[in-house]
Copies of this chain bind each other. A is one copy, B any other.
Amino acid sequence: MPDVSPTRWHLAHTTWFFETFVLAKFVANFVPFHAGYDYLFNSYYNTVGEQFPRSQRGLLSRPTVDEVFAYRHATDQRLQEFLTDCDSETFTQAAGIIELGLHHEQQHQELILTDIKHVLSRNPLYPTYQHAQQSQTTPVAPFDWLDYDEPLAQIGHNGPKFAFDNESPRHRVLIPERQLASRLVTNAEYLEFIEDEVYRRPELWLSAGWTIITEQQWRAPLYWVQEGSEWMHFTLAGLQPLAGAEPVSHVSYFEADAFARWAGARLPTEAEWEVAASDLAVEGNFADDGAYHPAALPQDSAGLQQMFGDAWEWTSSPYTAYPGYAPPRGALGEYNGKFMCNQYVLRGGSYATSRSHIRATYRNFFPPEARWQFSGLRLAR
Name A residues whose Cβ lies closer than 8 Å to a Cβ of B. 36, 39-40, 44, 46-47, 52, 56, 58-63, 119-120, 122-125, 127, 152, 171-174, 176, 202-203, 205-210, 253-254, 316, 318, 320-321, 323-324, 333-334, 338-342, 368
Contact = CB atoms under 8 A, between A and B. Distances in A.
B323 A123 contact: no
A227 to B, nearest CB: 15
A63 B125 contact: yes
Tallying the copies of this chain within the complex gives 4
Given A60-B123, A63-B125, A208-B341, 10 more contacts: A46-B210, A56-B122, A61-B119, A61-B127, A62-B120, A62-B127, A206-B339, A207-B334, A210-B338, A342-B368
8 contacts: A47-B202, A58-B59, A59-B123, A171-B176, A205-B338, A206-B340, A206-B341, A316-B321
Top 5 nearest A-B pairs (CB, nearest first) are: A46-B202, A318-B318, A62-B127, A207-B338, A174-B174
A338 B47 contact: no
B339 A207 contact: yes
B203 A46 contact: yes
Contacts of A321: 316
A40 B125 contact: yes
A194 to B, nearest CB: 19
A46 B123 CA distance: 20
Contacts of A172: 174
B203 A39 contact: no
A321 B342 CA distance: 15
